[in-house]
Amino acid sequence: MAYLINPQNTIAILQKYNFHFQKKYGQNFLIDSHVLDKVIRAAGIQEEDFVLEIGPGIGTMTQFLCERANKVAAVEIDRNLIPILEETLKGYHNLSIINEDILKLDIASLVCRENGGRPAKIVANLPYYITTPIVMGLFEGGAPVESITVMVQKEVADRMQASPGGKDYGAISLAVQYYAQPEIIANVPPNCFMPRPAVTSSVIHLKRHKTPPVSVLDDKLMFSIIRASFNQRRKTLANGIANASNLPFSKEQAQDAIRTLGLSVNVRGESLSLEQFAELSDSLWNLGIWGGGAG
């Protein structure tokens, strides 16, 4: 079987089907075998695993996943790629190809059906504009997920792994780190893709925590506070909380809660760790006026 990671094989299959790249789907196909090897190794695929691949493209990585895993489900939104996938992957009998939007797919049901409810490993080369909704949807949606190994825009990977106080630190840093341990595996230059994207990419591995690293009374409240604190980065944390339409706390209540952490009332959200946000959330929750509003 001809592996598609060879650029000439990629070009040949695209020409055969007269395939045109769709900007709306952010399509950039990997053509570098060294990068592919790093993704596969980072994902840690074992022969008993069920792998959910998001955005298989023409099946370049899917071939290698099928050779290592017990079962693979490849979810591709572009129906023009389905006949290509059916040809390039026709030799693999442990594969199902699903023509769906991953954001609308019932992943929990899929994993239950294909893997008896045991956690799946997710592998993806995601369109940059939709990375965060997909990653957070996988973590928040209740599907059993062991890990996510994903190719994303470098600056998004940097944000996911960022620590308090840095310019990259923000709501996505805290959200990802609440659910998983992020590790950037490699940076990937534009010439590793066809067509070349305008930015550098990164491979990041997100190993899901068995239990969250912090205990919090109401995680919806905590994330509402986190979002409020980063929606207006130039404002103090207390002002951000007081100005948030979905939070019922006054500036004075926010300041009092911040003082209980031993912090200045003028502190900004970017200075707080996940543990401190959990403590702040619990302090405000104990006021008894949070009604669990929109998160």
- Encode pLDDT of 161-193 as tens digits: 999 998 999 999 999 999 999 999 999 999 999
Q: Domain limits of the chain?
A: 7-208, 219-285
Q: What CATH architecture applies to the domain 7-208?
A: 3-Layer(aba) Sandwich (3.40)
User: From CA 87, how far away is CA 85, in angstroms rounded?
Assistant: 5
SS3 127: coil
What mean pLDDT is reported for the chain?
A: 93
Alpha helix ranges (H) inside 76-119? 82-88, 107-115
Beta carbons of 274 and 162 less than 8 angstroms apart: no
Residue-wise pLDDT tens digits, 94-117: 999 999 999 999 999 999 999 998
Domains 7-208 and 219-285 share a fold: no
Residue range 153-163: mean pLDDT, rounded: 95
d(CA 209, CA 92): 32
Mean pLDDT along residues 15-20: 92
Q: What is the pLDDT of residues 232-277, one digit of tens each?
A: 778 899 999 999 999 999 999 999 999 999 999 999 999 999 999 9
- The model's pTM is 0.93
Domain 219-285 has CATH 1.10.8.100: yes
